[in-house]
């Protein structure tokens, strides 16, 4: 009987029936909730957004659709990612040819080129392994390009092939190398097979020397079919969140382990071959997850981030280094008196994003293809810095930027911890400075999220606004590679989010972190999205984010029981909003308890139809997770429930999240 009921609830109709059965069968009196439609606060369009950090191969090897790793031979080991395998059993590659890198332009951003010497006609070849393989889709077109110089004119052509993990050719093309001087060659290949772990093999026809650089391979089918584009499936998942903002490019990535390794946005603009490759700070950060081949090509740079934010209809929120390297690493400091270049970077960024095409940085933007301003409204000053060192530096940034650009909202940080001395100090000092928005980070356990739905209930309404900039429930411990994206973590986050939403007058921006991770090249878990070279996976946590983001409403209203908000009593959490444009009431109900909870409320306004649409998220077990093998275990189900006399009785299933949407007529 139990089993068949469980089966039933997997269908929409079943769910409605089940709520009826359990409600009547248990006979329990429903909990009476009071909904009041008087608006309490505006829910900001930025309430739910995206925090993008280049961690876990999220940029190169992830969102950035380039398939060749180390395309310009600028990694610390210049041939990393490339191999020169033997081509037949009787000859080694050493017999047939050799490739080395030449450091031909020291002190430039693109100093290395590849010199290929082919000795005989035994099919000397070079292979690029991609980012843990290359994801190739059957029938799709791939754009290959490279620069080459053929000074002796003796290399007639190169043959480019995509090969599967067993070495079988799945796409092939030949490109005559006709120019003695440096020349850019481009060609397309069409794949006849889908392969997750393909590689690019280049074979040379002729004998002699060929110099090469910027060997690049992109799918044609990128997001909006842009060259130098982004992976379409990943961007689509982001677009489906309907995010209010895009914060970029991190995270600790902006801090660098040392100041020399900080993120410098100016290095990420312009022609691709002029963007200097840099080691990723996540490269060897965690002993338990070494990724020595993690570098930043900056092919996905600030222009591309702004463009992505625009595509997503999200406010762009760049975060800049404030003169402090990561305090978990070197903690290197720029003396306060020497902050000018760092502040100038912020001023120039405002010009790059918003300036006219006549201004120097506005012209750079226009030359890259976007004469219209990006209308940037926010800048983050520092990421997760702490102590007097941060406050002293923030003060200087604030003074100059507020004088020159009062229109830009500055986001300050409160450090890496959700509470404690460091956190309290930051809040105290930032409040004195009239900081506008404080970024808070919570990487905490599941219980913390359930216990902290009241976190902002008594927050000073005259203080800075809050950006819950990075949060995720950790099923084991922060930085543990064993952390899972279980339903239990997502459910706890949902409970917490009702508390963020109930305090929407204070909490104006929120984002889960980190955003995404490559299954074969990650450093940090959990993540909202996982991907491999062919597929993307929306986790349970993604589904919770999407549910709240796509039902955020526009005005916060109150929902209470016995005069109190629902903040975990009997495992129940709730928030409510009206959506003015849609003229609807949205009730978000989270039941973290193992028992079903029956609730009842009366809509205090005429309704358009006595039918509620319920978007429901639940799972078989608290430990359930979506996986590539079973990606839809946890995904929203929609069903409708009729009601009478404006009064709805609803059963919140054990361990579930529901959004009840009711069309109003007022
Ligand atoms: O999200 C991963 C890291 O966690 C971020 O880079 C940093 O801001 C935080 O410590």
What proportion of the chain, given as a percentage, has pLDDT over 70? 94
Residue nearest atom 10 of ligand 1, based on CA coordinates: 416
Average pLDDT of span 123-139: 96
Catalytic choice (315, 351, 384, 436): 384
User: Residue 347, CB half-sphere, CA atoms under 13 Å: how many?
Assistant: 17
Q: For position 86, what pLDDT does the model report? A: 59
Ligand 1 neighbours, Cβ below 6 Å, are 53, 55, 250-252, 383-384, 416, 441, 470, 513-514, 524
CA dist., res. 178 & res. 536, Å (int): 40
Confidence of residue 27 (pLDDT cuts 50, 70, 90): low
| CA 292 vs CA 59, 282, 522, 573: distances in Å | 16, 9, 12, 44
Three-class SS state of 262: coil
Catalytic, 225? Answer no
| DSSP output for 539-554 | -HHHHHHHHHHTT--S
Q: DSSP code of 637?
A: E
CA dist., res. 280 & res. 292, Å (int): 9
Q: Are 191 and 221 in contact (CB under 8 A)?
A: no
* Confidence check: pLDDT of 505 > 60: yes
Residue nearest atom 6 of ligand 1, based on CA coordinates: 251
* Confidence check: pLDDT of 106 > 50: yes
CA dist., res. 155 & res. 470, Å (int): 53
Atom of ligand 1 nearest to the CA of 470: 1
| DSSP output for 175-233 | EE---SS-EEEEEEEE-SS-EEEEEEEEEEEESEEEEEEEEEEEES--GGG-TT-B-HH
Query: How far is the centre of ligand 1, averaged over its atoms, from the C-alpha of 305 (Å)?
Result: 19
Distance of CA 562 to the CA centre of its chain: 40
Q: For position 89, what pLDDT does the model report? A: 46
Q: What angle do CA 494, 250, 78 make, to 5 degrees?
A: 135
| CA 503 vs CA 453, 462, 500: distances in Å | 10, 13, 5
- Pairing between β-strand 555-561 and β-strand 656-663 as defined by DSSP bridges: unpaired
Q: Are 529 and 517 in contact (CB under 8 A)?
A: yes
Three-class SS state of 143: strand
Query: How far is the centre of ligand 1, averaged over its atoms, from the C-alpha of 655 (Å)?
Result: 29
Q: For position 103, what pLDDT does the model report? A: 84
Atom of ligand 1 nearest to the CA of 514: 1
| pTM of model > 0.85 | yes
Confidence of residue 316 (pLDDT cuts 50, 70, 90): very high
Q: For position 284, what pLDDT does the model report? A: 93
Q: Which residues, listed in sequence order, are joined to residue 183 by a DSSP beta bridge?
A: 148
Q: Are 639 and 12 in contact (CB under 8 A)?
A: yes
Average pLDDT of span 204-227: 97
Distance of CA 265 to the CA centre of its chain: 18
Three-class SS state of 663: strand
Handedness of CA 82, 88, 91, 96 (dihedral sign): negative
CA dist., res. 569 & res. 591, Å (int): 10
Q: For position 84, what pLDDT does the model report? A: 87
Q: For position 143, what pLDDT does the model report? A: 98
Q: For position 247, what pLDDT does the model report? A: 98
Query: How far is the centre of ligand 1, averaged over its atoms, from the C-alpha of 524 (Å)?
Result: 9
Average pLDDT of span 442-449: 98
Rounded to the nearest integer, the mean pLDDT of the chain is 94
């Amino acid at each position: 009987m139990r089993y068949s009921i469980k089966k039933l609830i997997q269908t929409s109709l079943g769910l409605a029936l089940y709520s009826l059965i359990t409600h009547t069968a248990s006979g329990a009196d429903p909990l009476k909730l009071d909904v009041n439609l008087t608006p309490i606060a505006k829910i900001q369009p930025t309430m739910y957004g995206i925090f993008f950090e280049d961690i876990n191969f999220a940029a190169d090897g992830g969102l950035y659709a380039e398939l060749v790793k180390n395309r310009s031979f600028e990694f610390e080991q210049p041939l990393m990612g490339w191999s020169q395998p033997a081509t037949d059993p009787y000859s080694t590659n050493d017999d047939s040819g050799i490739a080395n890198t030449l450091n031909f332009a020291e002190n430039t951003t693109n100093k290395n080129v590849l010199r290929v010497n082919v000795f005989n006609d035994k099919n000397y070849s070079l292979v690029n392994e991609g980012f843990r393989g290359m994801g190739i889709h059957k029938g799709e077109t791939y754009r290959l390009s490279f620069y080459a110089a053929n000074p002796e004119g003796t290399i007639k052509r190169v043959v480019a092939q995509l090969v599967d993990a067993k070495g079988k050719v799945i796409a092939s093309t030949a490109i005559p190398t006709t120019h003695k001087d440096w020349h850019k060659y481009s060609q397309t290949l069409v794949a006849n097979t889908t392969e997750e772990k393909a590689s690019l093999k280049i074979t040379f026809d002729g004998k002699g020397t060929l110099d090469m650089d910027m060997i690049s391979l992109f799918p044609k089918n990128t997001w909006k079919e842009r060259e130098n584009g982004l992976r379409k499936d990943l961007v689509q998942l982001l677009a489906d969140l309907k995010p209010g903002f895009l914060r970029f490019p991190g995270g600790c990535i902006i801090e660098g382990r040392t100041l020399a390794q900080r993120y410098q946005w100016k290095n990420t603009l312009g022609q691709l071959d002029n963007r200097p490759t840099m080691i990723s700070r996540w490269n060897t950060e965690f002993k338990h997850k070494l990724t020595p081949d993690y570098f930043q090509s900056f092919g996905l740079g600030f222009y591309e981030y702004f463009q992505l934010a625009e595509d997503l209809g999200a406010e762009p929120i760049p975060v800049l280094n404030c003169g402090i390297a990561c305090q978990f690493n070197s903690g290197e400091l720029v003396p306060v008196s020497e902050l000018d270049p760092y502040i100038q970077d912020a001023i120039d960024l405002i010009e790059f994003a918003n300036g006219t095409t006549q201004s120097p940085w506005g012209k750079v933007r226009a030359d890259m293809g976007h004469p219209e301003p990006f209308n940037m409204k926010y800048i983050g000053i520092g990421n997760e810095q702490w102590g007097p060192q941060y406050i002293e530096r923030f003060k200087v940034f604030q003074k100059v930027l507020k004088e020159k650009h009062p229109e830009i909202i500055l986001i300050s940080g409160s450090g890496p911890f959700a509470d404690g001395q460091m956190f309290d100090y930051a809040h105290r000092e930032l409040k004195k400075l009239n900081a506008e928005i404080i970024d808070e980070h919570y990487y905490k356990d599941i219980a913390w999220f359930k216990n902290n739905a009241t976190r902002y209930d008594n927050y000073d309404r005259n203080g800075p606004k809050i950006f819950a900039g990075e949060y995720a429930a950790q099923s084991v411990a922060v930085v543990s590679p064993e952390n899972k994206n279980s339903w239990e973590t997502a459910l706890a986050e949902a409970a917490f989010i009702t508390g963020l939403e109930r305090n929407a007058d204070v909490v104006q921006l929120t984002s889960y972190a980190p955003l995404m991770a490559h299954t074969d090249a990650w450093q940090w878990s959990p993540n909202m999205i996982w991907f491999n070279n062919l597929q993307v996976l929306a986790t349970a946590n993604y589904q919770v984010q999407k549910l709240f983001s796509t039902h955020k409403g526009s005005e916060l209203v109150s929902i209470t029981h016995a005069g109190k908000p629902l903040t975990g009593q009997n495992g129940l959490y709730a928030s409510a909003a009206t959506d003015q444009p849609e003229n609807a009431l949205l009730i978000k109900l989270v039941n973290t308890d193992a028992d079903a909870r029956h609730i009842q409320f009366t809509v205090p306004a005429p309704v358009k139809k006595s039918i509620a649409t319920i978007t429901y998220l639940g799972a078989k077990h608290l430990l359930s997770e979506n996986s590539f093998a079973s990606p839809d275990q946890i995904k929203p189900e929609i069903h409708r429930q009729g009601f009478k006399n404006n009064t709805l009785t609803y059963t919140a299933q054990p361990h579930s999240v529901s959004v009840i949407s009711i069309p109003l007529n007022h």
